[in-house]
Amino acid sequence: MDANEFREAAHAAIEHIIGYCQSLSDRPALPDSSIHPGYLRPLLPDSAPQEPEKWDAIQPDIASKIVPGLTHWQSPSFMAFFPANSSYPGMLGELYSAAFSAPAFSWIASPAITELETVMMDWVGQALGMPECFLSSGGGGGVIQGSASEAVVIALVTARERILRQRAGEPPGGMDPRTDEDWAAEEAREDKLGDIRSKLVALGSECAHSATAKAARIAGTRYRSVPVSRNNDFAMTGADLKAALEHTKSAGLVPYYLTVSLGTTSTCAVDRFEEIAEVLKDWPEIWVHVDAAYAGSAMICPELRYHLKGVEHFDSFDFNMHKWLLTNFDASIMFIKNPQQVTASLSITPPFLRNKWSDASLVTDYRDWQIPLGRRFRSIKIWIVLRTYGIAGLQAHIHKGIRLGEQFDGWLRERSDLFEIVTAANFGLVVFTVKPRDPKGATDQEAANTVTEAVYEAINASGELFLTSTKLGDVYAIRVVNGNELGSEKHMRKAFDLVVKISEQERTNGDV
Ligand code: PLP
């Protein structure tokens, strides 16, 4: 494809993309019911074409074969999981990122890519009101990860390496044993590390995202979840954590890492940071990571920043700008109070990665702050998004999502004959159950679970709305959240009317 062909193809593609975006208001979130597992393979040739094809043969296939199989996350009737915002400014950023494509792992691999990221992390940190200790001016620093799960892995592996160094000392210089004595010394140290590692335990509340259990598995350590209570709105309290820590200690285990949540996936619970920090004064070896994957975006609104109280006591913080701040996937923003601890754990420099700027410690090499070596140019879309919307535009977007949740919550309460709120609107997320009409001998909870699950399945089967459900202890509940740019009161009301209609039908059909 030469420049002229690209110009023509790009114009056609942009028109197609705009047409798709403009159709979203009326598109259901889920694909057409004719889409079934394995639908695509029969529509495509068995192998890649031997001869080149023209764009005017490729583009129609995107429209006819791919678009029908998409789940439309930007549709205003997408109220499942959490949002994953896309925007025109974000798309422009992605376009430039593709044009300047470079696996910019170190400063010299493309200085502008590194330097824009460093500046953007401070812009975003300031916009969220992050304590200074997480900004470069306070000795901290930010880095863009691909996902909140990757950030947990980075924090957890750093925590593991830190406690291993603290308890077993620094590795002896020269990691290539040559003599028998070297081998013996190295093996003795490895055995000691193995003994310590076998006792390490990572913790998170039982409502923390499964990313923490997965990260502990990747890091080869144990994981324990801390029980939480509905009486505390599923937030982890200082007392919950203290009990779990004492339990692990009496079992001879060594807690070394904790995830605290600012907005859990099921209900958007915020753990009690200040109480937790108080308890952790007695446990200085524990690295605390704040998982704010979704709700972190809301900190752009000053009136919500009370949720950050106590965060300055913790070690790292991550939120997905690609969830709720109009920035296309992926842009997971990780702030670290002491980045040297991350680089001390992750940095390995083979000769081919050395250069005079890195050797002189004049630059940031983000390869040492993440899992892969190569990395995408993500900060350019953040720059474009921040400038196009301004902080005020992004605040307005968050306010709208919160308002839509509160409206839905209010309507549910008006129908208290039909619905029970499990957790009130929180960062735009409402969690509720359907009340059974006549439990017929079943326990109330079983009957409520049965009808709620039936309603949930019927809503998604209708194709008009896409929601997700969750389990909180023995309670089966439905989650509704709308953080889309196209979301509006009209769409919320339509969704509520559908939920009412299906709930009334299911109560009658199931005779519960
Ligand atoms: N943490 C929380 C609280 C989440 O809600 C999610 C996903 O929604 C994650 C972590 C995982 O996010 P990611 O897909 O960025 O790894």
Give the Cα separation of 35 and 494 in Å (integer).
25
% of the chain with per-residue pLDDT over 70: 97
Task: Tell me 375's DSSP state.
Answer: -
Binned at pLDDT 50, 70 and 90, residue 442 comes out as: low
Can you tell me the mean pLDDT for 396-410? 98
Q: Which residue has the higher pLDDT, 507 or 96?
A: 96
Residues 337 and 475 in one domain: no
Pocket test for ligand 1, best of 210, 260, 265, 322 (most atoms within 8 A of CB): 265
Spacing, Cα 82 to ligand 1 middle (Å) = 9
Q: At what angle do helices 379-414 and 88-99 cross, to 10 degrees?
A: 150
- Chain-centre distance of CA 471, in angstroms? 19
Which whole number is the average pLDDT over 235-259? Answer: 98
- Strand order through the sheet with 429-434: 419-426, 429-434, 475-481, 468-472
Q: Which of 21, 80, 25, 82 is nearest to 298 (CA)?
A: 82
- Total of domains in the chain: 2
Domain closes at, from 309, 344, 376: 376
Whether residue 209 has its Cβ less than 6 Å from ligand 1: yes
Whether residue 377 has pLDDT greater than 60: yes
Mean pLDDT of the chain: 95
Alpha-carbon gap, residue 39 to 68, rounded angstroms: 10
Confidence at residue 179, expressed as pLDDT on a 0 to 100 scale: 83
According to the model, what pLDDT value does residue 361 have? 86
- Answer yes or no: is 62 within a domain: no
Atom of ligand 1 nearest to the CA of 292: 3
CA distance 454 to 173: 63
Instruction: Report the predicted TM-score, pTM, of the whole model to 2 decimal places.
Output: 0.96
**Overall average pLDDT of the 4-9 stretch:** 98
Provide the percentage of residues in the chain whose pLDDT is more than 90. Answer: 90
User: Is there a single domain that holds both residue 215 and residue 283?
Assistant: yes
Q: Is the pLDDT of residue 309 over 80?
A: yes
pLDDT for 175 equals 59
**Which residue of 81, 234, 268, 320 sits with most ligand 1 atoms within 8 Å of its CB, as the best mutation to test the pocket?**
320
Distance from Cα 209 to the centre of ligand 1, integer Å: 6
CA atoms of 37 and 46, how far apart (whole Å): 17
Measure 88 CA to ligand 1 centroid, in angstroms.
24
C-beta 148 within 6 A of ligand 1: yes
Does the CB atom of residue 265 touch ligand 1 within 6 A? Answer: yes
Residue 440 is predicted with a pLDDT of 62
Identify whether residues 163 and 191 lie together within a single domain: yes
Domain boundary among 353, 376, 399: 376
Query: What's the token pair of residue 455?
Result: 């309603």
The reply to whether ligand 1 has any atom less than 6 angstroms from the CB of 400 is no
The reply to whether 89 falls in a domain is no
Q: Is the pLDDT of residue 443 over 80?
A: no
Strands 287-291 and 254-261: parallel
What does the pLDDT read at residue 183? 82
Q: Are 105 and 375 in contact (CB under 8 A)?
A: yes
Find the 149 Cα to ligand 1 centroid distance in Å: 6
Whether the Cβ atoms of residue 316 and residue 334 lie closer than 8 Å to each other: yes
In a domain? residue 97: no
Residue 381 belongs to some domain of the structure: no
pLDDT digits (tens, 9 = 90+) for 463-500: 999 999 999 999 999 999 999 999 999 999 999 999 99
Same domain, 410 and 315: no
Does one domain contain both 372 and 426?
Answer: no
58: its two tokens: 């490729």
The domain in which residue 480 lies consists of 1-30+71-84+391-512
Q: With bands split at pLDDT 50, 70 and 90, how would you rate the model's confidence at 178?
A: confident
pLDDT digits (tens, 9 = 90+) for 347-363: 999 999 999 988 888 89
Contact predicate 263/295, CB 8 Å: yes
- In ligand 1, the atom with minimum distance to the C-alpha of 295 is 3
Q: Is 293 in the pocket of ligand 1 (CB under 6 A)?
A: yes
Neighbours of 34 (CB within 10 A): 8
Ligand 1 centroid distance, CA of 461 (Å):
25
| Residue minimizing CA distance to atom 14 of ligand 1 | 147
Identify the residue with better confidence: 512 or 170: 170
Are residues 138 and 80 both part of a single domain?
no
Distance (Å, whole) CA 180 – CA 160? 29
Locate all alpha helices (DSSP H) within 364-378, ordered by sequence: none
Residue 208 clears pLDDT 60, i.e. is over it:
yes
* Atom of ligand 1 at shortest range from CA of 332: 15
Ligand 1 centre distance from Cα of residue 293 (Å): 5
Strand partners, 333: 144, 319
